[in-house]
Chains A and B, each alone.
Chain A
Amino acid sequence: MDNRENKVMLQLENVNKYFFRYTQDEQWAVRNLNLKISEGQFVTVVGSNGAGKTTLLNLISGSYLPDSGKIMINGEDVTNLPAYRRAPYIGRVFQNTFQGTAPSLTIEENLSLAYLKGKRKGLRPAINDEVKKFFQEKLADVGLGLEKRLRERVGLLSGGQRQALALVMATFGHPKILLLDEHTANLDPKTGEKIMELTNKLIEENTLTALMVTHNLQSALSFGDRTLMMDEGEIVLDLVGEERKKMTIEELLERFSELRHKKFTEDRALLSS
């Protein structure tokens, strides 16, 4: 038996999340959700607007705490840990290209922040020649020429460059799980494609476990090895193996309307497929 393949990296048990609970505006954003992701799996997530995809990632990262249920990362119960205590296990890239980096700090300062993740902060200089060299190597792998611009402020970079940097930062220290929330959605299609390739490369090279939300159904099916479809706070479809390989976008949309008795409504999905 291959132990590695079967080791569960992330597990959610009966997780529920409400917004404005017990008010008129109550939103049941995540409903009795159960999910197991094995080590090394690259899972893509699609779903209509408001399906709860972002909320799911926020629950995993600890940005939101669940109303009930249990969340385990690598066998450790993290349900009640605040975001900053879970951070050492998690790498994260956001949709908003300004969210994953600190714009008024330089490239090297941003990298250093990620490099120090999970380490005790002291009164040592945050940047020295040794880590600089390490940063340069990592950035050179990305191939955007950023390694020559370590001292430039991140706010001056383009959205794509910022996302590339955020990705590199998110993969530092080999996180147990990488969370990506439509991280190419705010980029032009060509840059988006490049970042997607980079994402794939980083995940493969570092054999990371990853959960990627995307509105692009094609990417959802072609990247990774498992696809989840969400609707109204539930996982309605879980595709792996042969079934997934044969799946087309049309069939996926059809399956959705069969299951949910409605059309898949995602304003951007149609545009990009």
Chain B
Amino acid sequence: MFGILALGVFITFRCLDFPDLTVDGSYPLGAAVFAVMIYHGFGAGWAMLAAFLAGALAGAFTGFLHTFSRIPALLSGILTMTCLYSINLRIMGRPNISLSENLGHRTIFVILRDWFPEVPEAYLRLAFLLVLIVGIKLLLDFFLGTEIGLSIRATGDNETLVESQGVNPDSMKLIGVSVSNALVAFSGAMFAQHQGFVDVNMGIGMVVSGLASVIVGEVLMRGKTIFVMTLQVIVGSIVYRLATAVALNWGYNIGFKPYDLKLFTGLIVIIILSYPAVQERFSRRARTKQNG
């Protein structure tokens, strides 16, 4: 589930080189749109599709701010995220909504349980999420290998070149950021179904945890082909989730509280990102010592 979010973050941060902070807003947006659609009697499939499209729209807005209004990428994302906070509240009508079968809310998990009544629900969820993430990974691999996908990746790599090859880099950024946020919102909708509730604040820190998954994956596995890179992201997000779960359980004894989780995530990202620089500094010091 968080793997989908991480794949979204991967597109912007790694393929496009566009540090997109819209995620913190598009994640709850997906959940909110999903919940409201369900409340209005739509099926889970339609609601998920709507969440996906809403995310794409949010991403397109950030992309528009950046490419048309020339607002720096970071600020564009922050602006959209801030606007989305109010928009999400408006969509939901209140700060949180719960989804319950008793109210006739048939989430994808309820539907699945009815299809396979003999399978224990926990396994069923796990299996479904695995199939889903693998499916999305393969689709994304395909997309990044298409003409448009290739142009998007090239834009993150060398904008001058892309321009000289007759591709408008702005269009590619717009498409990339939209696809990314569509995935993020979809992941928000999945989470809403898994937890059975939606909270406007559920998006806080989501970019960083997505990024944590991406870089944990990169540390664990080597390889630069698209197939391997998206696999890294998924493995990274699973390991990252396990690590946080372990940290919470263990940490309980030493006074670790659930709300310390964001601190923990932030520290992971800081440590991994600082590692090369710290290492370089130490080796330089070692070298000057040797010479001196």
Contacts and interface: CB of A to CB of B under 8 A. Distances in A.
A247 to B, nearest CB: 32
B147 A99 contact: no
B100 to A, nearest CB: 39
B146 A99 contact: no
Interface stretch (B3-11, B153-161, B256-264): B153-161
A113 B146 contact: no
Interface string B134-171: 00000000110111111101100110111111111100
Chain A's interface size range is: 35 or more
Contacts of B167: 84, 87, 113, 121
Given A84-B166, A118-B166, A153-B224, A101 B145 contact: no
Contacts of B147: 112, 116, 119, 121-126
A118 B151 CA distance: 13
B48 to A, nearest CB: 21
Interface stretch (A9-17, A103-111, A140-148, A202-210): A103-111
A99 to B, nearest CB: 6
A36 to B, nearest CB: 24
Contact of B165 (A85, A99, A103, A113): A113
Contacts of A92: 164
Interface residues of B, number: 24
Given A105-B150, A126-B145, A116 B158 contact: no
A124 B161 contact: no
A114 B166 CA distance: 9
Contacts of A122: 146-148
A172 to B, nearest CB: 9
A121 B163 contact: no
A88 interface: yes
Contacts of B163: 63, 83-84, 87
Contact of B153 (A84, A85, A105, A124): A105
B145 A127 contact: yes
Contacts of B145: 125-127
28 contacts: A63-B163, A83-B164, A84-B162, A84-B168, A87-B163, A92-B164, A94-B160, A98-B158, A99-B158, A102-B154, A102-B158, A102-B162, A103-B157, A105-B153, A105-B154, A105-B157, A109-B150, A112-B150, A113-B154, A113-B162, A117-B166, A118-B166, A119-B147, A122-B146, A123-B148, A125-B142, A125-B145, A126-B147
